[in-house]
């Protein structure tokens, strides 16, 4: 079983936006399913899926949605599900990918430890892991 995290954005990301970030970070996007992608570095892998607001509304309750909205400052419009393998490097990779998305769109991260993190919190965590 892999670890999972979720990137939420208050902007409606298009499939092209999703693909662009993944490709820029050295990843691959499925040609048959352009809303799915992966990034590999050495023995570490993360897998990503772009999901619509309908999925957010269907699978999460009002309390979760309110918590994410409070941190994001707006209603989440899209989510990117991130699954990562159990290597330590994958934990760095998914933070880097979050920062890539958050560079262009307002985002928060529901991380592998079930914490809701703002951009600045993720940046601090990423820098701490880099050493």
Tens-digit pLDDT profile for residues 41-65:
999 999 999 999 999 999 999 999 9
pLDDT of residue 1: 53
pLDDT along the chain (131 residues), means of 10: 89 94 95 92 97 92 94 96 95 97 96 94 94 81
pTM score: 0.94
C-alpha span between 82 and 48 (Å, rounded): 5
Measured from the Cβ of residue 127, the count of other Cβ atoms closer than 10 Å reads 10
Residue 54, classed as helix, strand or coil, is helix
Q: Collapse the DSSP code of 104 into the 3-class scheme (helix H, G, I; strand E, B; otherwise coil) and give the result.
A: helix
Residue ranges per domain, the chain?
3-130
CA dihedral 27, 38, 125, 112 (to 10 degrees): 180
Backbone dihedral region for residue 72 (phi beyond 0: left; psi -120 to 50: alpha; all else: beta): alpha
The neighbouring-strand residues paired with 107 are 9
Please provide the CATH number assigned to the domain covering 3-130.
3.30.70
């Amino acid at each position: 079983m892999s670890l999972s995290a979720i990137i939420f954005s208050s902007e409606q990301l298009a499939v092209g936006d999703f693909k662009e970030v993944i490709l820029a970070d050295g990843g691959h996007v499925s040609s048959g399913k352009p809303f799915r992608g992966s990034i590999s570095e050495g023995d570490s892998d993360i897998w990503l899926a772009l999901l619509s607001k309908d999925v957010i509304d269907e699978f999460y309750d009002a309390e979760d949605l309110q918590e994410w909205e409070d941190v994001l400052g707006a209603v989440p419009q899209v989510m990117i599900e991130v699954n990562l393998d159990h290597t330590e490097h994958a934990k760095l990779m998914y933070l880097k990918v979050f920062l890539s998305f958050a560079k262009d769109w307002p985002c928060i991260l529901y991380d592998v430890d079930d914490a809701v993190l703002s951009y600045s919190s993720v940046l601090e965590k990423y820098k701490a892991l880099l050493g």
